[in-house]
Structure 1
Amino acid sequence: MTAQPPEHSPRPAEPGPLRASDDEREAAVERLRDAAAEGRIDFGELDARLERALTARTRGELAAVTADLPAPRAEAGGPPLVLKGGMTGASRGPGRWEVPGHVIAHGGVGGVALDFSRAECHHAEVVVEAYGETSGVTIVIPDGWTADTTGMDPGTGGLRDETTPARLPRTPLIRLTGSGGIGGVLIRHPNRRERRKLDANPA
């Protein structure tokens, strides 16, 4: 009896290039705009690269658009700043403080106030995870800074975004994530009283 040749199982298909997500395309667009604001690329090249970034289908195509640009400082790592409202509340600012690339705020029972009005920020983008929990989180950012709240779950307490979309050159983007919980999350620019205090003491 003639031996039959062994059957060969079909080779699994090799995985294709990974597809880029909308968030990854948006992050690339922010890097390109920051690079133009810093003078690394001119505005004619910016338009061409923005078109490539917005139409990129894979991560490889997207990476090629920013391959010759420095990584955002927010990606440099380092421990996050963690604020816990606990029973008595917690705050950072409005005095001088250095902003890390990642901030986590838990409202707890006492609430959290996060004020960037006089903060020193060297990041193109800062991720703020805000969890309103019982008493909420309030975030104040200077005029000219902008916020992306599309990654935020409003929860039952809701999300109030009272910021304006006009971003000044060389200012950071606050990328807000987390959940409103019961107390909710508010992000805004300084109010009239806070502006008077800032104007009276500009240092």
Structure 2
Amino acid sequence: MSEGDRDTAMRRLQEAYAEGHISHPTLDEGLHQVLTARTSSELAVPLASLPEAKAPTTSTIAAASGRIRRRGAWQVPRVLKIESAFGKLNLDLSRAVIEHSVVDVELRLGTGRARITVPRDAIVEVGDLHTGWKDIRYRPRRPSRPVGPTIRITGAMGFGRLTIRHAWR
């Protein structure tokens, strides 16, 4: 059992409470069981009576050339695939509606720069991103408030630079 499994279970309990499926005492008891669980079977007990988890959503944004831009209050899917042979990417998640605790962004970019702005309290993971020519520009930020969503960036970039920054607000 991993910390990710524990986080997912906690998120499901919180979502069930927010949607009115369970009471506050049931939420407290379920969170206690999740935090003290040592095995996956113990982790499954408080989740057994919850409604089925929503299926993960996937969206693909593709362009042969030109600019790909997403900003403002837009709904972020659980998995976002971005594909472009030539062009620039400007992905702003700072004011986006992020309902998932983990968002996977898969980049398939040929040439051109990419800029991703993440929420101020987000955790960014770029371990599985392969760059061809230039390095990634990213300086992790220490969370100043409760931890926000985890943004996992994977995929491959050819000739271009990826810049990741945290929003100021």
Question: So what's the TM-score if we normalise by structure 2?
Answer: 0.70
Equivalent of residue 77 in structure 1, options 56, 65, 69: 56
Shift of 1:176: 1.5
Q: Does 1:103 align with 2:91?
A: no
- Structure 1: runs of 5+ lacking an equivalent: 1-19, 53-60, 199-203
* Aligned-residue identity in percent: 23
Matched AA of 2:55: A
Matches within 5 A, 1:5-154: 25-32=2-9, 34=11, 40-41=27-28, 45=33, 47-49=35-37, 52=38, 61-62=39-40, 64-66=42-44, 68-69=46-47, 76-78=55-57, 80-93=58-71, 95-154=72-131
AA partner of residue 88 (structure 1): G
1:123 and 1:81 map into 2 onto residues whose CA distance is 14
Return the offset for 1:28.
Answer: 1.1
> Matches of 1:184 and 1:33 in 2, distance apart?
36
Aligned residues of 2:79 and 2:104 also touching (Cα < 8 A)? yes
158 and 168 in structure 1: CA distance in 2 versus 1, 3 angstrom threshold: same
Deviations 1:105-144 (A, max 9, x none): 2243211111011111111211110234211322111111
SS at match of 2:125: strand
Question: Could you say what secondary structure the match of 1:153 adopts?
Answer: strand
* Unaligned ranges ≥5, structure 2: 16-23
